[in-house]
A and B are shown apart, each in its own frame.
Chain A
Amino acid sequence: MTFESVRLEVNGVVYERVVEPRRTLCDFIREDLELTGTHIGCEHGVCGSCTVLLEGEPVRSCLLFAVQVPGASITTIEGLTGPGGALGPLQQAMWDNHGFQCGFCTPGFLTTITALLREGDVSEETLREELSGNLCRCTGYQSIIQGVLDAARASGPDTETSR
């Protein structure tokens, strides 16, 4: 059993840990950093619950080993929240629209949507396709779509979520 040293930045905080190379990034985040907001839904890249932002881009943390991304800057759902638990505009819009039910898929959706909204305009048609990489079993997706459209309207194209 070999171990490697890993140093990376999550939600603006630099962490250094020693882990096995086979430690997935999602297990690293949840177990080694104790940031349990990121969820594990399938461990084969389909459900999207584990999606985090790597250098701002959504990736499946279950398909990355922590040792693969030294020095990377990662954002998890905890990083989308303001100080004292203040909700960002996206989170607020999802709250207003009853976006989610059981909440298990939520972290993956919010990171994915955060990246989407940063890119510009969204419409219902493109949204459904863009969000097809995140599975939800509870909502039938309509409330999520509604929340995102609301967030897009409220924020405008230039707004960043609070950090």
Chain B
Amino acid sequence: MRRFVGESARRVEDPRILTGRGRYVDDVRLTGMLHATFLRSAYPHARVGGIDVEAARQLPGVVAVFTGAEIAPVTKPIQIGTNVPGFTCPEFWPLATDRVRFVGDPVAIVVAENRYVAEDACDLIDVEYEPLDPVVSFETAQDPGLPPLFEDVGENVIYRVENSYGDVDSVFASAHTVIRETFHQSRQANVPMETRGAVADYNPASRELTFHASTQNTHGWRFQLANYLDQPLERVRVLCGDVGGGFGLKLALSREDLTLAAASRIIGRPIKWIEDRNEHLLASGHAREERMEVEAAVSADGLLVGLRARMLLDQGAYPSIPTASAIYLHVIRDLLPGPYRMQALAFEGACVVTNKASMVAYRGPWEIETWVRERLIDLIARELDLDRIDVRRRNLVDGAPEDRSITGSGLDGISSRQCLDLALEKIGYAQLVRDKAAARETGRLLGIGIATYIEFAPGWREWRSQFSEAASARIEPNGHLVVYTGQGPTGQGHETTLAQIAADALGVPLDHVRVVHGDTSITPLNLAGTGGSRAGTWASGSVMMATKRVREKALAVASAMLEIDAADLDIVDGMVTPRGVPSEPTPLAQVANTAYLAQRTLPADVDPHLAATETFTAEGISGSGWSGGTHVCLVEVDLETGGVRILRYLVAEDAGQIINPAIVDGQIRGGVAQGIAGVLYERAAYDADGQFLAGTFMDYLLPTASEIPFIEIVHYEGPPPGEGVEFRGVGEGGAIVAPAVVTSAIEDALGHLGVRVTEQYLPPGRILELAGVVAVGG
């Protein structure tokens, strides 16, 4: 029964957020809590000689100072990705020991009575650095002649992969044209409004570690903390309240988190660390620094028949926990054909280490596959003098049952064609084209951008069958429902959407449901956390299953109480109602009360404990498993200033069944904003010597309300839902496709100048260089 699902129900989270009563990790106060700060390397690459912390230790208010040499003995060395064949992970420690490898590399931790004093103490620490030549450019990092950043790896390429699908040589041999291009993305950063931070609370009496986190993955972090601190899992508890955004960053347990926990264990007191913004920009991690060289085999009528792609990914110095950068290469490779009918693909990829901050997952970490592919479609159209939309239509698969990408992804049921049509219709594409021409007459340069994408949310049939998720539910003695999920929301509104699912599944009012997350001692194990657009399906499905199970139990009790067959009972609005027979409804509260407090009145075979934990598997999912759509935008480029204004932006999106439209639209717009910013504003820049240049918000430019346009959204309504769960994720899509549509529009605006856009970061100066108005390197 659908009462709440599909409605834009007001969020459960909002009353506390709107009144300043959110509980973020910096709001955690514990008795005896101390404050930590990290001393960080100012060198991109150096040997570390002596570290003199005596003066720091003596400063009044300082409780402890630990260096890498003191933290290492209480932790295991960090090594990740050991299950990824061919990925050579260096061994390293939470704090740098004998070498620092990026500006911001943590070298010591100071624990003091407050953050002010801790920073004073940092000023008193003396480190002997012997600078080494930094490896900054990820392109030159491949040079085998360069000394390796990690001696145990022996080279700076830590992963290589090579795969081939279809008959690549033959497809290229018979191609009408081969287009060659190299595409560059620039380094960006997730930059949630809340930086990283934690309170590590080790209790020596109980030997328990309680870790208050700002995380997307409580259970994953518990697992990693237990592992690296050699702490029994059952004595590790991760707690998480509200999180001020993550976008993938807070999936990674950081070296600072491990150091903090280790320090707490050594001194036996709770310690808080809240990252400041400068540290955050410097050291929390970056993303998107990738390059792809492609050769595209194209038919005379614009079919992208085959692709040779060589990709380079800059993973910074230290691999981040727990996902090896190699994995992203695999995903990029698998998704590169997208929804198009490519016949052959040769993919070569490499991950290199450089003296820069670690690569972390950032909203659609494989985004480059969409960007390159959509750029290619535009370039093919330009090269062959064909219409971009015709070329897309020609290349798109239909979503027929037999449709499958050359890399193996099942594409049946995708709605790419329909979304493309919807987008063009809703934006009034023909009129846009006329507007563009008319504007040209008055000297204004407009450009129209189009891009199509798919994201696996939760993925096609075989892919999603690898996963499952559990949830727990309990009907309380008052007839209300508590649901426990291992998800880690950071603004997606799970307390609301999952309550909507549960309320409908049980048949109770929305405010009779409470969703509990953020406590590993009571939520079901979920090592994946929240990310990858999976909550929409997996969390919903698991909550639905667990709720249905407790509903069955409740009806079994009600059946015994009312002497009516359970199959003839319904629960509507919190009342157990017999079907067909006119009779008084019974409050679910009464049923629950009876179950818990009057068990003796029930038959022996009726389970009075109205709780359940259920595992939701892929069998419960129907539909294509792909979200996706088409974005269209209209930009104006000012060739005197290089300024780009987005005049219109429209999203036509297939997100399957939607639990809460307002929440979905919010996710889409937030993602689009980040994608736009990656083109026009944001660059986590290093100079040639490895110094970081964007350490404040004056230099790392997040878009404001003036820079993000009004974003129109239309949802594609596909075929009626199947039997299973079809709430698909949408979290990442906006960020994945927006760079493609904005660069497409800029290229369209400058098309008459012969400009080809093959780099993603286009600040005003670069626009004028591309347009030939300003000399390059002047």
Do chains A and B stick together as partners? yes
Residues of A within 8 A of B (CB): 20, 22-23, 30-31, 34-44, 46-47, 49, 76-78, 80-81, 85, 87, 91, 94-98, 100-107, 110, 127-129, 131-145
Give the residues from 1 to 54 in chain B that come closer than 8 angstroms, CB to CB, to chain A.
Answer: 8, 10-11, 13-22, 24, 26-27, 29
- Is there an interface contact between B710 and A37, defined as CB atoms closer than 8 Å? no
Q: Does B403 contact A (CB under 8 A)?
A: no
Selected contact of B191 from candidates A30, A35, A38, A137, CB within 8 Å: A137
Question: Cβ of A129: which chain B residues have Cβ within 8 Å of it?
Answer: 705-706
Selected contact of A101 from candidates B20, B277, B666, B674, CB within 8 Å: B666
Smallest CB separation, A62 vs chain B (Å): 10
Complex Cα spacing A139 to B242, Å: 16
- Is there an interface contact between A85 and B21, defined as CB atoms closer than 8 Å? yes
Question: Cβ of A98: which chain B residues have Cβ within 8 Å of it?
Answer: 8, 10-11, 14, 662-663, 666
As a 0/1 sequence over residues 693 to 724 of chain B, the CB contacts with chain A under 8 angstroms (1 = contact) are 00011100010111010110000000000000
Q: Does B98 contact A (CB under 8 A)?
A: no
Selected contact of B20 from candidates A31, A40, A107, A139, CB within 8 Å: A107
Question: Cβ of B16: which chain A residues have Cβ within 8 Å of it?
Answer: 103
Complex Cα spacing A30 to B272, Å: 15
A43-B277, A77-B20 are known; give 10 further A-B pairs, CB within 8 A: A34-B29, A101-B493, A104-B244, A128-B705, A132-B706, A137-B191, A139-B669, A139-B673, A140-B708, A141-B708
With A95-B14, A140-B672: A131-B705 Cβ-Cβ less than 8 Å: yes
Closest A residue to B704 by CB, please name it.
A132
Closest A residue to B672 by CB, please name it.
A140
21 contacts between A and B (CB under 8 A): A20-B116, A30-B26, A37-B22, A39-B26, A42-B277, A91-B19, A95-B10, A98-B666, A103-B13, A104-B194, A107-B20, A133-B704, A136-B705, A137-B193, A137-B245, A139-B666, A139-B670, A140-B708, A142-B711, A143-B669, A144-B705
Closest A residue to B115 by CB, please name it.
A27
Smallest CB separation, B22 vs chain A (Å): 5
Complex Cα spacing A104 to B193, Å: 6
- Is there an interface contact between A141 and B17, defined as CB atoms closer than 8 Å? no
Q: Does B492 contact A (CB under 8 A)?
A: yes
Q: Does B399 contact A (CB under 8 A)?
A: no
Closest A residue to B662 by CB, please name it.
A98
Closest B residue to A106 by CB, please name it.
B17
Q: Does B491 contact A (CB under 8 A)?
A: yes
- Is there an interface contact between B26 and A132, defined as CB atoms closer than 8 Å? no
If over half of A's interface residues share one DSSP class (helix, strand or loop), that class is named, otherwise mixed; here it is: loop
A-B pairs with beta carbons under 8 A, tally: 178
With A87-B15, A138-B670: A103-B242 Cβ-Cβ less than 8 Å: yes
Q: Does B243 contact A (CB under 8 A)?
A: yes
Q: Does B143 contact A (CB under 8 A)?
A: no
- Is there an interface contact between A87 and B18, defined as CB atoms closer than 8 Å? yes
Complex Cα spacing A120 to B310, Å: 57
Q: Does B490 contact A (CB under 8 A)?
A: yes
- Is there an interface contact between B711 and A44, defined as CB atoms closer than 8 Å? no
Q: Does B221 contact A (CB under 8 A)?
A: no
Complex Cα spacing A78 to B20, Å: 6
Complex Cα spacing A100 to B662, Å: 11
With A102-B242, A102-B490: A137-B11 Cβ-Cβ less than 8 Å: no
Closest B residue to A35 by CB, please name it.
B20
With A132-B704, A139-B670: A46-B193 Cβ-Cβ less than 8 Å: no
- Is there an interface contact between B22 and A103, defined as CB atoms closer than 8 Å? yes
Q: Does B192 contact A (CB under 8 A)?
A: yes
Question: Cβ of B276: which chain A residues have Cβ within 8 Å of it?
Answer: 43
Residues of B within 8 A of A (CB): 8, 10-11, 13-22, 24, 26-27, 29, 114, 116, 191-195, 242-245, 247, 274, 276-277, 490-493, 662-663, 665-667, 669-670, 672-674, 696-698, 702, 704-706, 708, 710-711
Which has the most chain A C-beta neighbours within 10 Å: B22, B191, B274, B705? B705
Selected contact of A36 from candidates B10, B26, B192, CB within 8 Å: B26
- Is there an interface contact between B491 and A38, defined as CB atoms closer than 8 Å? no
Complex Cα spacing A131 to B708, Å: 12
Question: Cβ of A46: which chain B residues have Cβ within 8 Å of it?
Answer: 696-698
Q: Which 10 A-B pairs have the closest CB atoms?
A: A37-B20, A104-B244, A102-B491, A103-B17, A140-B669, A101-B491, A77-B20, A46-B697, A140-B673, A132-B704
Complex Cα spacing A103 to B194, Å: 9
Closest A residue to B496 by CB, please name it.
A98
Question: Cβ of A85: which chain B residues have Cβ within 8 Å of it?
Answer: 15, 19, 21
Question: Cβ of B13: which chain A residues have Cβ within 8 Å of it?
Answer: 103
Which has the most chain A C-beta neighbours within 10 Å: B13, B191, B277? B277
Complex Cα spacing A44 to B195, Å: 14
Question: Cβ of B674: which chain A residues have Cβ within 8 Å of it?
Answer: 137
With A95-B11, A98-B666, A101-B491: A135-B193 Cβ-Cβ less than 8 Å: yes
- Is there an interface contact between B705 and A102, defined as CB atoms closer than 8 Å? no
Complex Cα spacing A110 to B19, Å: 9
With A101-B670, A102-B245: A42-B696 Cβ-Cβ less than 8 Å: yes
Complex Cα spacing A85 to B16, Å: 9
Complex Cα spacing A128 to B704, Å: 8
Question: Cβ of B19: which chain A residues have Cβ within 8 Å of it?
Answer: 37, 77-78, 80-81, 85, 87, 91
Complex Cα spacing A91 to B14, Å: 9
Question: Cβ of A81: which chain B residues have Cβ within 8 Å of it?
Answer: 18-20
Selected contact of A39 from candidates B14, B24, B673, B710, CB within 8 Å: B24
Complex Cα spacing A4 to B19, Å: 31
Smallest CB separation, B364 vs chain A (Å): 15
- Is there an interface contact between B14 and A100, defined as CB atoms closer than 8 Å? yes
- Is there an interface contact between B27 and A36, defined as CB atoms closer than 8 Å? yes
Complex Cα spacing A3 to B673, Å: 45
Complex Cα spacing A144 to B247, Å: 20
- Is there an interface contact between A140 and B14, defined as CB atoms closer than 8 Å? no
Selected contact of B666 from candidates A41, A47, A133, A138, CB within 8 Å: A138
Complex Cα spacing A80 to B698, Å: 30
Question: Cβ of A104: which chain B residues have Cβ within 8 Å of it?
Answer: 22, 24, 192-194, 244-245
Selected contact of A96 from candidates B10, B27, B245, CB within 8 Å: B10
Closest B residue to A38 by CB, please name it.
B20
- Is there an interface contact between A138 and B491, defined as CB atoms closer than 8 Å? yes
- Is there an interface contact between A91 and B670, defined as CB atoms closer than 8 Å? no
Which has the most chain A C-beta neighbours within 10 Å: B16, B20, B669, B673? B20
Complex Cα spacing A43 to B119, Å: 15
- Is there an interface contact between B698 and A136, defined as CB atoms closer than 8 Å? no
Which has the most chain A C-beta neighbours within 10 Å: B10, B18, B191? B18
Question: Cβ of B670: which chain A residues have Cβ within 8 Å of it?
Answer: 101, 137-140
- Is there an interface contact between A40 and B26, defined as CB atoms closer than 8 Å? yes
Complex Cα spacing A131 to B172, Å: 53
With A46-B697, A102-B194, A140-B670: A135-B704 Cβ-Cβ less than 8 Å: yes
Smallest CB separation, A142 vs chain B (Å): 5
